């Protein structure tokens, strides 16, 4: 399972319809939170994502609309009896941020906060996947993130193995692991009965940014790109000045990167009544695009073959 839940999709200011930025990813039961704007824990309750299995928080930058939900979330987890350490990753100064959280006297935390400063290009290796920090272009130091699953072993051709004289049982497992086996004096190799490696899934989250080459390269053939789409193209000068992206710019990047799906987020409060102009603008460039809504969920399925 790889499920994305949009807890907050607004840009800078909350509205009645949109909370500030927060995205939960559930990978095989492990929860990872990307940004944590004000009210994120209440959104987690509404979405029923849970929080006990939250392993890490990944901060893109230190603007208030991306971090103000963290103090309350930490206190709630402590009240619930959490004892496991919580990892908080982010750009430079995340150590200082975590120190301040821990030093606040009213917390009395039952668990440790393990802060990790990231530089663009850093890779966090985990069991079956990795998180890559990506350089972005915003008004303060910032990073985006790519969750990239490891390649999966190819499919085992049972019928072909039997045809080659391999009896069902332990030898099947050896071949599937890539080890050769000997049958009736003949060596059977893995390549004869195991297909091409199958791709893992890839999700890229830009955070707040102008379109940039680093996000483009990280997004190549991604299953899902979640990109800043604060404004429509008629506000492009303001987008440039505030270091955000327009819907059209995000769609152009998604098209060039050959992503499967684009979801636009960080929607300005000026579109609180109607975000349709952003969707129409993006669809002129890239068809498979959606405007993120609070509490929306998206499941990313496994693919058998790499995208062409």
Output the domain CATH number for residue 119: 3.60.15.10
Residue 35 has pLDDT above 90, yes or no: yes
Check whether residue 247 and residue 174 sit in a common domain. no
CA distance 173 to 63: 51
Does any domain span residue 11? yes
Read off the pTM. 0.91
Does any domain span residue 308? no
Does any domain span residue 305? no
Residue 236 has pLDDT above 70, yes or no: yes
Look at residue 208 in the predicted model and tell me its pLDDT.
98
CA distance 87 to 89: 6
Place of tokens 């992503």: 259
Look at residue 260 in the predicted model and tell me its pLDDT.
97
Least confident stretch, 83-92, 161-170, 199-208, 272-281: 161-170
Residue 305 — very low, low, confident or very high, per pLDDT cuts 50/70/90? confident
Look at residue 181 in the predicted model and tell me its pLDDT.
87
Least confident stretch, 25-39, 80-94, 100-114, 260-274: 100-114
- The sign of the dihedral angle between the CA atoms of 89, 51, 73, 38 is positive
Does any domain span residue 92? yes
CA distance 308 to 304: 12
Check whether residue 92 and residue 182 sit in a common domain. no
Catalytic residue among 35, 65, 223, 228: 65
Check whether residue 258 and residue 210 sit in a common domain. yes
What integer is the mean pLDDT of 140-146?
97
Does any domain span residue 140? yes
Look at residue 84 in the predicted model and tell me its pLDDT.
94
Does any domain span residue 73? yes
Check whether residue 183 and residue 221 sit in a common domain. no
Check whether residue 51 and residue 101 sit in a common domain. yes
Q: Domain ends where: 140, 172, 192?
A: 192
- Residue 97 and residue 176 in contact, taking contact as beta carbons nearer than 8 Å: no
Residue 223 has pLDDT above 70, yes or no: yes
Q: Average pLDDT over the chain, rounded to whole?
A: 93
Check whether residue 60 and residue 120 sit in a common domain. yes
Look at residue 6 in the predicted model and tell me its pLDDT.
98
State how many domains the chain has.
Answer: 2
Check whether residue 186 and residue 227 sit in a common domain. no
What integer is the mean pLDDT of 2-19?
95
Q: Domain ends where: 143, 173, 192?
A: 192
Look at residue 107 in the predicted model and tell me its pLDDT.
61
Residue 306 has pLDDT above 80, yes or no: no
Q: CB-based contacts of 247: which residues, under 8 Å, 6+ apart?
A: 229, 231, 232, 233, 264, 277, 278, 279, 281, 282
Check whether residue 110 and residue 177 sit in a common domain. no
Does any domain span residue 213? yes
Place of tokens 């080890």: 179
Does any domain span residue 53? yes
CA distance 193 to 159: 9
Look at residue 106 in the predicted model and tell me its pLDDT.
55
Residue 307 — very low, low, confident or very high, per pLDDT cuts 50/70/90? low
Check whether residue 136 and residue 174 sit in a common domain. no
Check whether residue 8 and residue 106 sit in a common domain. yes
- Residue 269 and residue 220 in contact, taking contact as beta carbons nearer than 8 Å: no
What integer is the mean pLDDT of 266-293?
95
Look at residue 161 in the predicted model and tell me its pLDDT.
85
CA distance 305 to 308: 9
Look at residue 219 in the predicted model and tell me its pLDDT.
98
Place of tokens 């994502």: 49
Check whether residue 181 and residue 285 sit in a common domain. no
What integer is the mean pLDDT of 286-302?
97
3-state SS, residue 96: helix
DSSP state, residue 41: H
Domain that holds residue 223: 2-152+197-299
Look at residue 102 in the predicted model and tell me its pLDDT.
77
Check whether residue 185 and residue 211 sit in a common domain. no
What integer is the mean pLDDT of 146-170?
89
Residue bearing the bigger pLDDT, 100 or 130: 130
Q: Is 65 among the residues known to form the active site?
A: yes
Residue 215 — very low, low, confident or very high, per pLDDT cuts 50/70/90? very high
């Amino acid at each position: 399972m790889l499920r994305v839940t949009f807890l907050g999709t607004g840009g800078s200011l909350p509205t009645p319809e949109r909370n500030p930025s927060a995205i939960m990813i559930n990978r095989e039961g492990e929860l990872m939170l990307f940004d944590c704007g004000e009210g994120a824990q209440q959104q987690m309750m509404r979405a029923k994502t849970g929080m006990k299995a939250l392993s890490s928080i990944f901060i893109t930058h230190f603007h208030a609309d991306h971090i103000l939900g963290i103090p309350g979330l930490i206190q709630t987890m402590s009240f619930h009896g959490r004892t496991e350490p919580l990892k908080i990753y982010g750009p430079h100064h995340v150590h200082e941020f975590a120190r301040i959280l821990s030093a606040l006297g009213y917390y009395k935390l039952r668990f440790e906060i393990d802060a990790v400063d990231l530089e663009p290009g850093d890779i966090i290796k985990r069991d079956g996947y990795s998180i890559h920090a990506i350089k972005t272009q915003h008004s303060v130091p910032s990073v985006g993130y790519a969750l990239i699953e490891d390649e999966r072993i190819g499919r085992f051709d049972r019928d072909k193995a039997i045809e080659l004289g391999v009896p069902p049982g332990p030898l099947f497992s050896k071949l599937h692991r890539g080890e050769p086996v000997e049958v009736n004096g003949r060596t059977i190799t893995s390549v004869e009965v195991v297909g091409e490696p199958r791709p893992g899934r890839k999700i890229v989250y830009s955070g707040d940014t102008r379109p940039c080459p680093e996000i483009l390269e990280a997004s190549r053939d991604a299953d899902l790109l979640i990109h800043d789409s604060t404004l429509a193209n008629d506000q492009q000068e303001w987008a440039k000045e505030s270091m955000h992206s327009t819907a059209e710019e995000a769609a152009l990047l998604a098209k060039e990167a050959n992503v499967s799906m684009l979801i636009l987020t960080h929607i300005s409060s000026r579109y609180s009544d109607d975000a349709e102009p952003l969707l129409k603008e993006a669809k002129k460039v890239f068809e498979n695009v959606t405007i993120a809504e609070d509490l929306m969920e998206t499941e990313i399925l496994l693919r058998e073959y790499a995208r062409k």
